[in-house]
Structure 1
Amino acid sequence: MDVGYHNKSFESSFESVDTAGKVITCKAAVAWGPGQPLVIEDVQVAPPHKMEVRVKILFTSICHTDLSAWKGENEAQRAYPRILGHEAAGIVESVGEGVEDMKKGDHVIPIFQGQCGNCICCRNEKTNLCQRFGVNPLKSVMVNDGKPRFSTKDGNPIFHFLNTSTFSEYTVLDSACAVKIDSEAPLEKMSLLSCGVSTGVGAAWNVANVQPGSSVAIFGLGAVGLAVAEGARVRGASKIIGVDINPSKFSKGKAVGITEFINPKDLEVPVNERIGAMTDGGVDYSFECAGNLEVLRQAFLSTHMGWGLTVLLGIHPSPMLLPLHPMELFNGRQIVGSVFGGFKGKTQLPEFAKQCMCGTLKLDEFITHELPFDKINEAFQLLVDGKSLRCLLHL
């Protein structure tokens, strides 16, 4: 597909339509309850309020976080009806009062981990968290007035999800959760930067700071895990071990730099013992991308005593606590969590997007399927069945 052609043809028609300040009726995939098929229906999208932007979504995809929310695995995510989705790319349709860094026609990426630029966290270079617009599964309305911008044709509220709600032809974002990128960037690929690729690559670059010649083990080879591998490859890691119980992930892993694979089902010893034997005592860095406590423990023990670092990326809905004894930390191993790969979205993501445009990263490897938006339930099933990394939906 000639992405540039589609972007430009859309923009020419988009510019001729003036919908600023008006309610827009459009199609959205509405979740009416946990595990129920999403329903494509007409919804009303209000104009953006102060410091908000309304965005025409052109491409969106499905992440495991969308999947777990759709299943209702986390009580905090059960607000219905709701519009899910948080990985996308689109074009600004209109901006609210006070928005100065974006205008109609700008290409943007929605981000679930916002950056207000003013809070104590945003002003601290040691973190990418934001006190006002950080990721919050409890949040289902806009910050301005505590109300959603979506409603049914009858005027009943439809709730937001993770600051973004991209399973809609139009969505309203806090301006802190929209990142302007180069207009020449291919939007279908840039959608990956909303979550999966940024989360994985950033964990390798910003959080772990993987060094040339180092060894890495990645537990869980979904899109995030493979993005970690891609980041480690670019950084010059000499050994990248992929761990997954789905052997179909291995062929895809080779394309992004994984050098060796382990299927725990094939082993007669714990994974950490196998990795220790392969690496003279353990890897320099391990990444847990599965959201499983036992996997987390294996990842921790797979690192080398004295300096090993484990980065936690998986979402853990279980109330169970970390499976570590405090004394195990005296062996010099460390463990740290990573949100959105440590990227400060508004200030750092535009440069990351430019790196991706230059071919630093192999983004094509992550888009395994493409479908029209009305096939969104089929896209969910592909992810459930472990057949897709990212299924790109065209709106």
Structure 2
Amino acid sequence: MLLCMGCQWVPFAEVVSLLTVAAVAWEAGKPLVIEEVDVAPPQAMEVRVKILFTSLCHTDVYFWEAKGQTPLFPRIFGHEAGGIVESVGQGVTDLEPGDHVLPVFTGECKECAHCKSEESNMCDLLRINTDRGVMLNDGKTRFSIDGKPIYHFVGTSTFSEYTVIHVGCLAKINPAAPLDKVCLLSCGISTGLGAALNVAKPKPGSTVAIFGLGAVGLAAAEGARIAGASRIIGVDLNSNRYDQAKKFGVTEFVNPKDHKKPVQEVLAEMTGGGVDRSIECTGSVSAMISAFECVHDGWGVAVLVGVPNKDDAFKTHPMNLLNERTLKGTFFGNYKPRSDLPSVVEKYMNKEIELEKFITHEVPFSEINKAFDYMLEGHSLRCIIRMDASP
């Protein structure tokens, strides 16, 4: 088997380490440093990918800040991206050099019970692991500086011109799709869209409440709009988000701070007993409870997307369930990365999904820390980071 190395084709055994440029997080909360990093060849069932565009997700910021988690540094963050396969390891048969791919923080081995189930996307082998900083194959990193290991993040580490990823965490997509747009589908936007389209499944003419109007919540609103919901009520503690949310189909807005009664009661009054569907995208347990208790009895469905703190507990009266309300959770919008993401990309290509309106900023890789500033200041939905390198 031959592999592409620049303009030459070389056999498996001749694939060697590359010296590349990466943004390394040396300490929690400190600016990333652009460094020259050695990237080892892909091992069995691994692929080395040239990243062309990546974006910053709040999950990167959360683990970079290391608040409430076990810190693991030095590390290369990044997991929303688009790139091109540079070389493949032994056993990889469904990808080859030149393929356009989206790295995904969770995977699809296609062999475990979850992957074989039509109802689940929670792969036993490749489910997200935020603590692991090494590759599954041998428990080692593929990044190093002067022989010192640099740890991976959620199996992707896309803040590097080249990265090594398990084949099960790569979705092969239409090469005509613009990577600077569809890279957004590798995490947050697909999570929100799928929460609406695959899990909540609002009917045409229905009423949907979206809790949290960040990028994921706005993607959920977009999904509700695509599904034909007639009323999409945004719920957020920041009233300034309403104007932007209108672009994504939000028709009404509620700020819980503006009311003396619980927001679930406000929504029930607005909608004659409750909304048909609700989607929670904040990670706040109080918002989760409100999202569940605001849906209509008999048929209402609440979907939880946000990730709570580890010590949080969800509490509601059992009668809320006995009165035929349904509570669901979702992971990555119930999309199977390898099987489903290519079709989501096609929805964008067919103009069924708009991605441009999620992009609020764009910076070159050398200015990646600006992307963190924009998000921390609350000014950014998604910032595209250009690697500034030709394929």
Q: What range is the shorter-chain TM-score in? A: over 0.9
Partner-residue secondary structure (3-state), 1:56: strand
Supply the distance in 1 between the matched residues of 2:192 and 2:238 (Cα, whole angstroms): 19
Shift of 1:80: 1.1
Q: TM-score, normalized by length of structure 2?
A: 0.94
Supply the distance in 2 between the matched residues of 1:70 and 1:374 (Cα, whole angstroms): 18
Which of 75, 78, 85 is residue 82 of structure 1 equivalent to?
75
Partner-residue secondary structure (3-state), 1:47: coil
Partner of 2:64: 70
Matches within 5 A, 1:267-278: 267-278=259-270
Shift of 1:323: 2.7
The answer to which of 230-239 and 243-252 deviates more is 243-252
Supply the distance in 1 between the matched residues of 2:240 and 2:386 (Cα, whole angstroms): 26
Supply the distance in 2 between the matched residues of 1:28 and 1:93 (Cα, whole angstroms): 16
Q: CA RMSD in A?
A: 1.6
How many percent identity over aligned positions? 52
Matches within 5 A, 1:250-289: 250-289=242-281
Residues 60 and 393 in structure 1, CA contact (< 8 A), matched pair in contact too: yes
Supply the distance in 1 between the matched residues of 2:126 and 2:132 (Cα, whole angstroms): 10
Residues 95 and 172 in structure 2, CA contact (< 8 A), matched pair in contact too: yes
Task: Describe the superposition over 1:108-149 as per-residue Cα deviations: whole angstroms up to 9, x where unpaired.
Answer: 000111000011110111101100001111221111101111
Supply the distance in 1 between the matched residues of 2:93 and 2:49 (Cα, whole angstroms): 15
Partner of 1:138: 131
Matches within 5 A, 1:188-337: 188-337=180-329
Give 5+ residue unaligned stretches, structure 1. Answer: 1-12
Shift of 1:18: 6.2
Shift of 1:327: 4.1
Partner of 1:147: 140
Shift of 1:334: 2.0
Shift of 1:331: 2.3
Supply the distance in 1 between the matched residues of 2:217 and 2:253 (Cα, whole angstroms): 13
Partner-residue secondary structure (3-state), 2:95: coil
Residues 256 and 362 in structure 1, CA contact (< 8 A), matched pair in contact too: no
Residues 121 and 131 in structure 1, CA contact (< 8 A), matched pair in contact too: yes
The answer to which of 124-133 and 265-274 deviates more is 265-274
Report the number of matched residues. Answer: 381
- Structure 1 residue 28 and structure 2 residue 22: aligned? yes
Partner of 1:46: 40
Which of 338, 349, 354 is residue 346 of structure 1 equivalent to?
338
Question: Which amino acid in 2 is paired with 1:269?
Answer: K
Supply the distance in 1 between the matched residues of 2:8 and 2:25 (Cα, whole angstroms): 29
Partner of 1:361: 353
The answer to which of 37-46 and 220-229 deviates more is 37-46
Supply the distance in 2 between the matched residues of 1:208 and 1:28 (Cα, whole angstroms): 39
Residues 192 and 217 in structure 2, CA contact (< 8 A), matched pair in contact too: yes
Shift of 1:17: 5.9
Partner of 1:8: none
Q: TM-score, normalized by length of structure 1?
A: 0.93
Supply the distance in 2 between the matched residues of 1:49 and 1:370 (Cα, whole angstroms): 33
Partner-residue secondary structure (3-state), 1:75: coil
Give 5+ residue unaligned stretches, structure 2. Answer: none
Supply the distance in 2 between the matched residues of 1:185 and 1:292 (Cα, whole angstroms): 35
Task: Describe the superposition over 1:221-240 as per-residue Cα deviations: whole angstroms up to 9, x where unpaired.
Answer: 11100000001101101110
